[in-house]
Each structure stands twice: as structure tokens, then as C-alpha cells.
Amino acid sequence: MKPVPRKPLKHVFVCVNEREEPRACCSRVGGMNIYDKLKLFVAQKGLIGTVWITKVKCLGFCNNIGTTLVIYPEQEFYTEVKEEDLDQIYDKLLE
């Protein structure tokens, strides 16, 4: 085992969980799209290495409205996140 020498200032975990119908899942409500847009934002703002965006299978709050994500180190969970919410998330990543 070897420790990673870098630690991000922020780490966002985005749910992209897939489930069989009729159970709710973040993949059907744009989880991967939110993940892709966050990755692009981080790259465009030159934040690679200081803000990490990671896709995960389940954060426990899948729904039929929008994806779920959590921002660390603040431990802020957001559910029902849609594309129109991204400006607020971007602002949190720049704090």
C-alpha cells in the first residue's frame, strides 16, 4: 500500500447508480450528465488536482427527479440535482 501524495481541496461524489425499473436511480435522471459537466467545469477552471469529481454507484438518496451528490470536506449532500442547479454547485466548488 502506498499513500497518495496529493489531497484535493474539494472532492465531489456524483451518483450514477443504475437500477431496474420501477426503482428510482440517478442514472435515469442525468447522473452521468451532471458528472460530465462537473468534470468539464473543473478542467475549464484549471482546478484539476485541487477539485476531484468521482462517480459512485449509490449515495442512498436515488429519486426520480435528479441525481444525488456530496461535496467534501463540507459533507454537504444534495439530492434531486438537475442541470439547472449546476451554477450553485459550481459556486460551491470555487469557495
CATH number at residue 65: 3.40.30.10
Identify the band that residue 20 occupies on the pLDDT scale cut at 50, 70 and 90.
confident
Residue 78 placed within a domain: yes
Range of the domain at 85: 10-94
Name the residue among 49, 53, 47 with its Cα closest to residue 71.
53
* Full-model pTM: 0.93
Amino acid at 32: M
**Looking at the predicted structure, is the pLDDT value of residue 22 above 90?**
no
Domains: count for the chain: 1
Residue 3 placed within a domain: no
Residue 18 placed within a domain: yes
Cβ-proximal residues to 35 (8 Å cutoff; 6+ apart), any chain: 14, 16, 53, 55
Residue 1 placed within a domain: no
